[in-house]
Structure 1
Amino acid sequence: MTESSQWSKKLGRMRTRWFDEVDPTNPFPEYPRPQMVRNEWINLNGLWDYQITSQYEENVENFKGKILVPFPIESLLSGVENCLLPTDRLWYRRTFRIPIDWNKNKVLLHFGAVDWESTVWVNGSEMGSHKGGYSPFSFDITHSLLPDEENVIVVKVYDPTDKGHQPFGKQTLKPKTVFYTPSSGIWQTVWLEMVPSTYIESFKLTPNIDNSTLHIIPQIQGDNSDETELLIKISKNGNEITTKKSPSNESVVIKLENPQFWSPESPELYDVQLILFHQGTQVDIIDSYFAMRKFSLKKGPTGIPQFYLNNKPYFMIGPLDQGFWPDGLYTAPSEAAIVWDIEMTKNFGFNMIRKHIKTEPARWYHYCDKLGIIVWQDMPNGGKMRLIPPGMILMALGKTVDDTKKYKKFGYENPTDRKQFEIELKELVDTFYNIPSIAIWVPFNEAWGQFDSKRIAEWIMKYDPSRLVDHASGWLDHGSGHFKSLHNYRDTFKMPEDTQDRGILLSETGGYTLPISGHVWNPKKKFGYKTSTNKNELHAAYRNMVENVLKPAVERGLSGVVYTQTSDVEIEYNGLVTYDRQVLKMDPDVIKPLNESLRKIFPKS
């Protein structure tokens, strides 16, 4: 019996157009880390053995069946569609062989993301554990490998979802309104990579358009002595521009002549190659890319600080993007699906995406870089949501809650939980630091698990001064970060008078609802803000929002608008497109000119 005969896709209530194209022998075959590419790697996606046990089981001998990695166990595409409870443990197992020519080098085992806590064994030896459902992690498994034999990986996963206090985003064990089905376990690519004994572990790329330089900080694993050098080659469109060689234990600044700047209208990217030499011999080589761009805040002609891109005023408008799929949940069915979502967003005339309380695989950001779209990156929330609806009332009254003392109100009374949030937040910033398209970090949304927001915003601003910070999107503003950030689903909007010398964002609005028969998650349930009965009504609502709600604010210096949302998600029917990505609910030809009209009236210096 073949592995694929022991597994089948679940034919659930809703599937995307890419569902039938998913190959269980080769899902997500693309190299998963486009800004740090090596040639020697093995993709471990595909069918793995799985079993669900109680929390008390310390090992598993007998496995239940097959699960398709990297799809969460709750998803159709996993082939299981089973909800993992906090008292459960999810076990994975698969075998692999190492190529003969890898035997004299190190082997790294990489996980793109596993939600939430995972422990990994190779051939019975524990490699380590990782907490955090949204960041990649790796283990050096070299000394546990069996050359010329089958090697066995076992992974154990614990995920309390919203019964815990760890970052979990919008996942819930009881889906309702704006909270959705969980995505437990492995949900991004797993792969093996061969590296030499001395290799490039990581690097930071920081462009500076004001002096036309790229600053590179390499991190070398192994012998990082004076005998190790780094050669850097920068090229564009296949043409080499400049090279520089320096000791690998030093940062490097490279001058670029007349650099071309990145923007959504012109997403210019440069290729960079990092070649490591040890004792005069080339030992490692990395292919990457970067962009010359600058995000900043500057007082505009109306007296309100405005968002600037490359030292010019720039208005941002884009959808709230939840990143959920009916057949894969947290995991898109394929790379083609990822690209389709981003291209659709651009076709509507949007120049920005707010990635909402979730992260994505590195290749999603790669296409934002390549296709040209600015990203606001949320940190997935943890804690508890005990201030709903009091938070909305406080926002309406212009009041707030002290988030430096009343931790229990936010579900973060345990200092260990607060520390874990900050660990995962730092991992998020570190993971995506090199992404050209990310302009704004959003650590908190609508008071969900919010704590010490002023301190945390100030930490991010210091740790990554190349970007801006929206410290508390929506409700409980504490005067920190670069923006006063508001949520407004009414047909009126008044610009705040006191911004404390910050820019202004309307970071959620719209949410106009239109369920499409035959393309709904649950015909008996519906959530949205204002319901239309047909496409023309939806167009009229959007036009009214632009003409009567947004334009007066944009003329005064409103820096950005987030429209809710990219797609329907479960019983939320306020997407530009249905959850299955089958039906566009508005016409791009109607919406695009409206979006562009806002950009034209944004105050210029």
Structure 2
Amino acid sequence: MKRLTLLGALCCLVCFTDAQPQGWKVVEGKITTPWAAQVNAANPLPEYPRPQLVRSVWMNLNGLWDFAIRPEAENIPSAFEAKILVPFAVESALSGAGKTVGKDNRLWYKRSFTLSSDFKNKNVLLHFGAVDWKCDVFVNGKAAGSHQGGYDPFSFDITALLKKSGAQEIVVSVWDPSDDGPQPRGKQIKNPRSIWYTPVTGIWQTVWAEAVPKTYIESTRHTPDIDKQTLTVKAVVKEFQPGDKLHVSAWDGTRKIAEQEVSGDEAVLQIKDAKLWSPANPFLYDLTVAVVRKGKRIDEVKSYFGMRKISMVTDQQGVQRMLLNNKFVFQYGPLDQGWWPDGLYTAPTDEALKFDIEKTKEMGFNMIRKHVKVEPARWYFHCDKLGMLVWQDMPSGDMGNHWEPRPAIIGLATDKARTAESEKIFRTEWKAIIDSKINFPCIVVWVPFNEGWGQFKTEEITQWTMDYDPSRLVNPASGGNFVTTGHIMDLHNYPAPCMPDPKLFGKQQIIVLGEFGGLGLPLEGHTWQEKNNWGYQSFPNKTELLSKYKSFIDKMPDLIKVGLSAAVYTQTTDVEIEVNGLMTYDRKVVKMPEAELATAHKQLYDPSLVKLK
């Protein structure tokens, strides 16, 4: 039988989606992206949602659900008031609802579905890509489970709750206090203003069911080592029995390049003459992981991996540098907040989700800082395929401590005195986020804190992150409240580029410019509101905007020579009242020509700017 590559498998999977009722339209009153018109209420976001752990039998449960908003203390409603398009948050235009919820209310969802014959005699898992924030799930009137956390995927085994045949019913309740609670929330607040945006409540990523055997692979962790030319694969297997074996094989197209079968949960593959993953050559190997019992494969998943390394090394000047695959590559990219005027946290289509990355690549950037938000798995899959480095922020929350943005000022910055509950919420979700994204080679930096927003026990959280994932770098505090623990010192400065003195700060940590720019240009007909829009510095036309931007880029090579290893420009798109994007919020206008930006950026990647030992 001819072996399917991972990409082939993703294209060949069948989604068994029930026919959906009508009664949905986009809420009017705000700008929309070109993809809003392509959203199909019967089958929104139909793509396989988990590219790093692929099975063939699954069912997409996106589509029109019933919903109701009720006081927080009430139980399951006896009646549901209207339809909502899952997986778009209830506040969004694409949900068809456009409603606010708030801490005093609870959002309820309900839908029924019928499983195909492929699910027969299998265990059934119910998966949620993300639900903001606390949710309880019921199947056929019985509790399936609860979850807290707005950015990490979760699932429940609902096999015992299913009827033997016919329609199955799911009910989901969600409570989200937004900025009235201590939980991670990123830029969401109940009264949007300035750099703070519309709340996102409820289901905002794909909901789906999956058929698995009783013994099945729950997760995997892939750790490449380009120096030893190995890939370590560790698997978590449910109901792993004595005598079971783990079989792992790596593929370059249709050619098997390595395999190993072990009695334990960890295999080490030799990847000889490895093709290294990088923005210039984003090569990915396919991976197959199987559980073998008495010579028979009882579960198998498809995945992929990239051979790449991110590290810190001292250059000839004694300054710490960030290396990719043992070579200095200046990392430059936009601050990317991942917001959409029609879908808020959720891109209208997979094509839209990919569009921002493609445009970033066309503009000559090689990195994206994903700012206080976590994306669906497919976003990182597109970054892996296109060759885009990612710095992944932890979404912020529980604000209130003093922020000190100047690294030379000692003693003014404070850590937040969080409650035990708040600390637990943060630690639990940060670990869950890392676990869910650990296998994407595009991610090279973890960022637990930004500008002191809810920053607490910084050294401890940073050290934990470094220990938990030693294969990546950790930027402990982007933009202030600096600590010497961690790999990176990250300055924010608007609008012009600058850097801390590398002679003072570059001996122990990599120096980066984590935010700068913010050059604004409001374009009539493409703004969230008609007036009172802002950028850190605004311009009357595209010509003057481009001129100023190029003047900033021309200053960067001198900074790179003396110690700068990376920079982040604010930002990919306008977001609500912010108009400092490279593109408008509706993605209909690119404010500076892609080709001119790419040409301007080439000087930043000149390898002669930095000499290593």
Quote how far apart the aligned CAs of 1:30 are: 0.5
Q: Distance in 2 between matches of 1:237 and 1:378?
A: 33
Q: Distance in 1 between matches of 2:609 and 2:147?
A: 45
2:409 to 394, 398, 418: 398
Q: Distance in 2 between matches of 1:224 and 1:602?
A: 56
Query: Quick check: 1:572 aligned with 2:587?
Result: no
Quote how far apart the aligned CAs of 1:595 are: 1.4
User: What amino acid is the match of 2:250?
Assistant: I
Q: Distance in 2 between matches of 1:363 and 1:509?
A: 28
Moved more, 561-570 or 395-404: 395-404
Q: Distance in 2 between matches of 1:492 and 1:138?
A: 44
1:284 to 294, 299, 319: 299
Query: Quick check: 1:346 aligned with 2:361?
Result: yes
Indicate how the Cα distance of structure 1 residues 432 and 263 shifts in structure 2: closer, same or farther if over 3 A, else same: same
User: What amino acid is the match of 2:421?
Assistant: T
> What's 2:182 paired with?
165
Quote how far apart the aligned CAs of 1:400 are: 4.6
Runs of 4+ aligned structure 1 residues displaced above 6 Å come to none
8 Å contact from structure 1 (residues 403, 453) kept in 2 = no
Written as runs of structure 1 = structure 2, the 5 A alignment for 1:33-432 is 33-226=50-243, 228-247=244-263, 249-385=264-400, 387=402, 391=403, 395=406, 398-401=409-412, 403=414, 407=417, 412=418, 414-432=419-437
> What's 2:443 paired with?
438
8 Å contact from structure 2 (residues 233, 266) kept in 1 = yes
8 Å contact from structure 1 (residues 399, 476) kept in 2 = no
Q: Distance in 2 between matches of 1:114 and 1:300?
A: 45
> What's 2:14 paired with?
none
Unaligned runs of 5+ in 1: none
Q: Distance in 2 between matches of 1:362 and 1:397?
A: 39
> What's 1:526 paired with?
533
- Cα distance per residue 1:302-321 (max 9 Å; x no partner): 22100100011111000000
8 Å contact from structure 1 (residues 400, 476) kept in 2 = no
Quote how far apart the aligned CAs of 1:59 are: 1.4
8 Å contact from structure 1 (residues 473, 485) kept in 2 = yes
Q: Distance in 2 between matches of 1:431 and 1:604?
A: 36
- Cα distance per residue 1:206-251 (max 9 Å; x no partner): 000001000011111013322x12222211122222222222x331
2:592 to 565, 586, 595: 586
8 Å contact from structure 1 (residues 314, 602) kept in 2 = no
Q: Distance in 2 between matches of 1:311 and 1:47?
A: 49
2:559 to 553, 557, 564: 553
User: What amino acid is the match of 2:37?
Assistant: D
Quote how far apart the aligned CAs of 1:5 are: 3.0
Helix, strand or coil: the match of 1:342?
Answer: helix
Quote how far apart the aligned CAs of 1:577 are: 0.3
Q: Distance in 1 between matches of 2:225 and 2:234?
A: 14
8 Å contact from structure 1 (residues 319, 566) kept in 2 = yes
Quote how far apart the aligned CAs of 1:7 are: 2.0
1:538 to 542, 545, 548: 545
TM-score between the two structures when normalised by the length of structure 1 = 0.96
Indicate how the Cα distance of structure 1 residues 242 and 3 shifts in structure 2: closer, same or farther if over 3 A, else same: closer
Q: Distance in 2 between matches of 1:133 and 1:20?
A: 27
Helix, strand or coil: the match of 1:449?
Answer: coil
User: What amino acid is the match of 2:182?
Assistant: H
- Cα distance per residue 1:283-305 (max 9 Å; x no partner): 11100000000000001122210
Q: Distance in 1 between matches of 2:609 and 2:500?
A: 14
2:474 to 469, 475, 478: 469
- Cα distance per residue 1:552-594 (max 9 Å; x no partner): 2111121100000000000000000000000000011221122
Q: Distance in 1 between matches of 2:407 and 2:324?
A: 31
8 Å contact from structure 2 (residues 248, 289) kept in 1 = yes
User: What amino acid is the match of 1:379?
Assistant: M
Quote how far apart the aligned CAs of 1:281 are: 2.2
Q: Distance in 1 between matches of 2:287 and 2:314?
A: 35
- Cα distance per residue 1:399-440 (max 9 Å; x no partner): 354645x51xxxx2x121011101111111111111100000
Q: Distance in 1 between matches of 2:325 and 2:381?
A: 20
Quote how far apart the aligned CAs of 1:103 are: 2.9
8 Å contact from structure 2 (residues 27, 93) kept in 1 = yes
User: What amino acid is the match of 2:189?
Assistant: T
Helix, strand or coil: the match of 1:18?
Answer: helix
8 Å contact from structure 1 (residues 385, 448) kept in 2 = yes
User: What amino acid is the match of 1:440?
Assistant: V
> What's 2:39 paired with?
22
Q: Distance in 1 between matches of 2:149 and 2:496?
A: 39
TM-score between the two structures when normalised by the length of structure 2 = 0.94
Indicate how the Cα distance of structure 1 residues 140 and 494 shifts in structure 2: closer, same or farther if over 3 A, else same: closer
> What's 1:597 paired with?
603
User: What amino acid is the match of 1:498?
Assistant: L
Percent of paired sites with the same residue: 45
Quote how far apart the aligned CAs of 1:274 are: 1.1
Q: Distance in 2 between matches of 1:314 and 1:566?
A: 21
Quote how far apart the aligned CAs of 1:492 are: 5.8
Quote how far apart the aligned CAs of 1:604 are: 3.0
Helix, strand or coil: the match of 2:357?
Answer: helix
Q: What is the root-mean-square deviation in Å for CA atoms of aligned residues?
A: 1.4
1:511 to 501, 508, 518: 518
8 Å contact from structure 2 (residues 459, 483) kept in 1 = yes
Q: Distance in 2 between matches of 1:131 and 1:512?
A: 37
How many residues were matched structurally?
A: 591
